Structure 1
């Protein structure tokens, strides 16, 4: 009985030690992330599709307003816009004259997508801990957080997510079960104010 108790206590101690190290690494990542309320920049998105011999590429600009939402503006190869406001995803094609519409995700799927995208780009990894198992690597120049879905709902769409960065998130890679993947490279700009157009879209 005593030996069984000792083995159980050792197992618990190892789990607690692992959790403590994980929490310390995540704290190191969080402490390095910028807390600026507004982050803007450009992105390059690369989609690897199993049925195609070449990747699908798109480029554009983004505006992340931490307390309000996200504006994702694809400029090439064809213009389209996505925004997250009030915890919901909306999209439009056709510029300012077109109406914003909700994608066919269902209400729950819409909110889950909105939360995932904004938390990933803002580096709010603690908010994702209940949905993903987190593995953290923190070095002097950069950090990496690897997320593996805990829930079947997310596992249907993504196998793993890897996020890399420094003061800001610089790279997000989503790997899918079918061997396909999406990689987003982000280049942030110097701090600035929202333009009137961006303010109208996000606020």
Structure 2
């Protein structure tokens, strides 16, 4: 009789645990869906950015800043102003870097760094399906005024580059922190978001055409 009672207790506890876990997963999936749905609503977003790159081996932090344009139709355009002036154009197919004197391009699928660049495009566009191919979503929280999500690499390619990606924001992406290998990290802070003008300016359109 005692053994039977114990079995029943274990069975009930197991059912409660499974139900709790299932509810937690469902709740997280709902949170994730809300985050990416919100990010996917704006076809064009412009912002200022500051990037801090910490290299543990050198005990140094390198800072760069400029502007970024996200276009759901075309891709992401990073225009670096300091410490050097350069444009970085990212589309689903190509990664192009242009300065006053140099120009280079690579196919996205032929470089691990091209894949990392595409991650920003997928995150900013709220493309959950594309991100899910390369990342596990380990935590997510959404509210109308603040959201955050933590990703870990799923594929061997990304596992070689970094350990974790954390993003947070309000209406748009405000901050991305990439924890890399060898205790290195990259933090990108976005500010002064603007959805206007909705159409590309002539200079922006010319840069995106380089990546066709």
Task: Find the counterpart in structure 1 of residue 174 from structure 2.
Answer: 170
Task: Find the counterpart in structure 2 of residue 122 from structure 1.
Answer: 125
1:138 paired with 2:153, answer no
* Deviating more after overlay: 12-21 vs 138-147: 12-21
Q: Given the superposition, is the C-alpha separation of residues 169 and 7 from structure 1 closer, same or farther in structure 2, using an over 3 Å criterion?
A: same
Which runs of no fewer than 5 residues in structure 1 stay unpaired? none
Counterpart mapping for 1:97-108 below 5 A: 98-102=102-106, 107=110
Q: Given the superposition, is the C-alpha separation of residues 12 and 129 from structure 1 closer, same or farther in structure 2, using an over 3 Å criterion?
A: farther
Number of aligned residue pairs: give it. 200
Q: Given the superposition, is the C-alpha separation of residues 30 and 102 from structure 1 closer, same or farther in structure 2, using an over 3 Å criterion?
A: closer
Structure 1 contact 89–113 (Cα < 8 Å) conserved = no
* Deviating more after overlay: 5-14 vs 116-125: 5-14
Task: Find the counterpart in structure 1 of residue 183 from structure 2.
Answer: 179
* More strand, by proportion: 2
Structure 1 contact 88–114 (Cα < 8 Å) conserved = no
1:19 paired with 2:25, answer yes
Counterpart mapping for 1:14-163 below 5 A: 14-33=20-39, 35-94=41-100, 98-102=102-106, 107=110, 109=112, 112-134=115-137, 135-163=139-167
TM-score of the pair, normalised by structure 2:
0.81
Q: Secondary structure of the equivalent of 2:105?
A: coil
Structure 2 contact 38–126 (Cα < 8 Å) conserved = no
- Alpha-carbon RMSD: 2.7
Partners of 1:24 and 1:149 lie apart in 2 by 21
* Deviating more after overlay: 4-13 vs 66-75: 4-13
Q: Secondary structure of the equivalent of 1:147?
A: strand
Structure 2 contact 39–124 (Cα < 8 Å) conserved = no
Which has more radius of gyration?
A: 2
Partners of 2:56 and 2:205 lie apart in 1 by 39
Q: Given the superposition, is the C-alpha separation of residues 186 and 90 from structure 1 closer, same or farther in structure 2, using an over 3 Å criterion?
A: same
TM-score of the pair, normalised by structure 1:
0.84
Q: Secondary structure of the equivalent of 1:128?
A: helix
Structure 2 contact 92–118 (Cα < 8 Å) conserved = no
Structure 1 contact 84–90 (Cα < 8 Å) conserved = yes
